[in-house]
Amino acid sequence: MQRISILGATGSIGESTLDVVSRHPDRYQVHALTAHSKVEQLALLCERFRPAVAVVGSADAAARLSGLLAQRQVRTEVAWGEAALCQVSSAAETDVVMAAIVGAAGLAPTLAAARAGKKILLANKEALVMSGQLFMDAVAASGATLLPIDSEHNAVFQCLPVGYQRLPAGHGIARIVLTASGGPFLQREVATLDSVTPEEAVAHPNWVMGRKISVDSATMMNKGLEVIEAHWLFGASADQIDVLIHPQSVIHSMVSYVDGSVLAQLGNPDMRTPIAHALAWPERIASGVGALDLAAVAQLRFERPDLQRFPCLKLAYDALREGGSAATILNAANEIAVDAFLNRRIGFRTIDHLIATVLERLPAQPVTDIPGLLEQDEQARQLTRTLIPS
Ligand code: NAD
Ligand code: MG
C-alpha cells in the first residue's frame, strides 16, 4: 500500500489524480489533501477519501473546513499555511507526493518532498523552472524519485532507455522533441491577438486545465516553461530540445536517437495516463482512459512554431540559454502578467511585452541558494507589478 499526499487536490491535476487513485483502493491510500481556498470542495474530498490531514491556505479557511468536517463527522486533522504544506509533503506517513499546486506557491512543499527523499510526481513545472539546479541537487542528495507528470515529459520519460542518466549523448540521444497543440490562437490573425478575452484564452482545444496553465498554453509560455523543465529533467541543452506544433495532441512527445530512430508516446489527451504511469511506475495500471483510435483520428499534422506569433516561447529559450536566475525572473514575471490578464487589467500581448521588459531590466544573477532565489523571484514580481497600469 502506497500512502500519497496530493498538493493541489482541488485542481484539475488533483482531480484526475484522485480519479486514478479511486480506481485502485488496494494500492493507494490518501495521507493528505491540500487546497488553497476551495473549502467546500475539499470537505467533500475529505469525506470521500478520509485523509489523515487536510491543509488550506489561511486560518479562516481552516476554521471553515473544520466546521464542515465536524458536521460530516469526518476526523481529518486540519492545518493551514506553507509550513503545514511542507509538513505533509515530507511526513514519514507519506511515500508519494503529487506536486500539483500551480505556480511558485508549490516550490517550498515540493522541495520539502525532494529533501525528504519522497517519490515525487511533478506536475508543478513552475517549481522546477524557478529553482532548476537547486531542486535537482536536492533530489540527488536525498535519493528522491522524480517522475514527470507533464504529459510531454512523461512521454519523453517513457521513450528514454531504462536507467537513463541525464546525459543524452551517453545514451545515443540526438534530440528531445516536445509537441505542442498551439493552443486556441494557432490560426488567429496575429494583429487581433491583443483583443482576445480571458474566456477565449482559457478555451483550450484539447485539454481541460486550470486557468493559469491554459493562458500559458495560449501564449505558448507553457511550452517555453516545458523546454526549461526538460532541460533539468533530462540534462538536455537548449539546442537539443525542439518544439513541434501538433494540433491533435495525440503524440505527447518524442525522443530522436542518433541511428535515425524516433520513439514517440501516443494516447488520448487525458492527464490520467501520465498520472497512472507515474503512480505505478515501473508497473502499469488502468487509468480510466479509453484506447486510442488512430483510424478515428485519421490524420496527424505537424508544423514548426512561429516565434512572431508566440514570442513567449523565444523568451523562455533565451532565459534557459542565459542561465542563472533568468528562468526564475521569466517565471515570476509571467505569473504576475497572466494574473493581470485574467483580471482584465492588461491585454493578451502585454503579457509577453511585460516579461521581455522585466528580463531586460533585471540582470540574471547566479543562483546559489533558495533565499537568494526567492529574492530574485520577489524582485521580478515587484517590477512586473509596477509596470502594470493601475
Ligand atoms: P488548477 O488551477 O486547476 O489547480 C491548482 C491547485 O493549486 C488547486 O488545488 C489550488 O487550491 C492550489 N493552489 C493554488 N494557489 C495556491 C497557493 N497559493 N497555495 C497553495 N495551493 C494553491 O491547476 P492545474 O491545471 O491542476 O495545474 C496544476 C499544476 O500542474 C500547474 O503547475 C500546471 O502547470 C501543471 N500541469 C497541469 C496540467 C493540466 O492538465 N491541468 C498539465 C501539465 C502540468
Ligand atoms: Mg504539458
**Mutation test of ligand 1: which of 209, 229, 249, 270 has the most ligand atoms closer than 8 Å to its C-beta?**
209
Residue 34 belongs to a domain: yes
Domain boundary residue among 95, 120, 148?
A: 148
CA dihedral sign of residues 244, 325, 11, 274: positive
CA of 148 to the centre of ligand 2 (A): 10
Asked if residue 227 lies in contact with residue 307, where contact means CB atoms within 8 angstroms, the answer is no
Strands 173-180, 53-56: pairing kind: unpaired
CATH of the domain at 352: 1.10.1740.10
Average pLDDT, the chain: 97
Task: Please write the tens of the pLDDT for every residue from 37-83.
Answer: 999 999 999 999 999 999 999 999 999 999 999 999 999 999 999 99
- Decide if pLDDT at 9 tops 90: yes
pLDDT higher than 90, residue 208: no
Q: Please say if the pLDDT value at position 206 is more than 90.
A: no
207 Cβ closer than 6 Å to some ligand 1 atom: yes
Stretch 267-280: mean pLDDT: 98
Closest CA to 19 of 45, 56, 51, 55: 45
Q: What are phi and psi of 250, to 5 degrees?
A: -100, -45
Query: Which residue range(s) make up the domain with 63?
Result: 2-148
Pick the atom of ligand 1 nearest to 222's CA: 34
Contact 336, 385 (CB under 8 A): yes
User: Is residue 279 a part of any domain in this protein?
Assistant: no
Tell me whether strands 96-99 and 77-80 are parallel, antiparallel or unpaired.
unpaired
Could you list the beta-strand ranges (E) of the chain.
2-7, 28-34, 53-56, 77-80, 96-99, 119-122, 145-148, 173-180, 241-245, 251-257, 262-266
Mean pLDDT of the region 159-180: 96
Average the pLDDT over 339-368 and give the result.
97
Whether 36 is in the pocket of ligand 1, judged by its Cβ within 6 Å, is yes
Question: Residues, the chain, total?
Answer: 390
User: Is a pLDDT exceeding 90 seen at residue 127?
Assistant: yes
Query: Does any ligand 1 atom lie closer than 6 A to the CB of residue 148?
Result: no
Report residue 120 as a C-alpha cell.
515525487
Model pLDDT, residue 147: 98
Q: Is residue 40 part of a domain?
A: yes
* pLDDT at site 207: 82
pLDDT at 296: 97
Q: Give the atom of ligand 1 at the shortest distance from the alpha carbon of 103.
A: 32
Distance 123 CA to ligand 1 centre (A): 8
Ligand 1 midpoint to CA 11 (Å): 5
What local confidence, expressed as pLDDT, does residue 50 receive? Answer: 98
Residue 178, all three cell numbers: 516536445
Residue 229, in any domain of the structure:
no
**Contacting residues for 47 by C-beta, under 8 A, at least 6 apart:** 69, 72, 74
Pocket of ligand 1 contains residue 124 by CB under 6 Å: yes
Has residue 204 got a pLDDT over 90? no
pLDDT tens, residue by residue, 288-340: 999 999 999 999 999 999 999 999 999 999 999 999 999 999 999 999 999 99
Rg of the chain on CA atoms, in Å: 20
At 288 the pLDDT is 98
pTM of the complete model: 0.98
DSSP H or E stretch at residue 321: helix 311-322
> Which residue, of 148, 175, 207, is where some domain finishes?
148
Residue 205 has pLDDT above 90, yes or no: no
Q: Domain with 106 in it: what CATH number? A: 3.40.50.720
Average pLDDT estimate for 226-244:
98
The neighbouring-strand residues paired with 34 are 55
Question: Which atom number of ligand 1 is nearest to the Cα of residue 126?
Answer: 32
Give me the amino acid identity at 228: I
Rounded to 5°, angle at Cα 385 from 381 and 386:
120
**Which among 123, 148, 173 is the end of a domain?**
148
Report how far ligand 1's centroid is from the alpha carbon of 126 (Å).
10
Q: Report the pLDDT value the prediction gives residue 390, as an integer from 0 to 100.
A: 84
% of the chain beyond a pLDDT of 90: 98
* Total domain count, the chain: 2
Residue with cell 493507494: 28
In a domain, 163, yes or no: no
Domain presence at residue 316: no
Dihedral sign, CA of 218, 222, 227, 233?
Answer: negative
Residue 142, domain member (yes or no): yes
Q: Is position 254 within any domain?
A: no
| 107-112 mean pLDDT | 98
Q: What is the 3-state secondary structure (H, E, C) of 117-142?
A: CCEEEECCHHHHHHHHHHHHHHHHHH
Average pLDDT, integer, range 162-174: 95
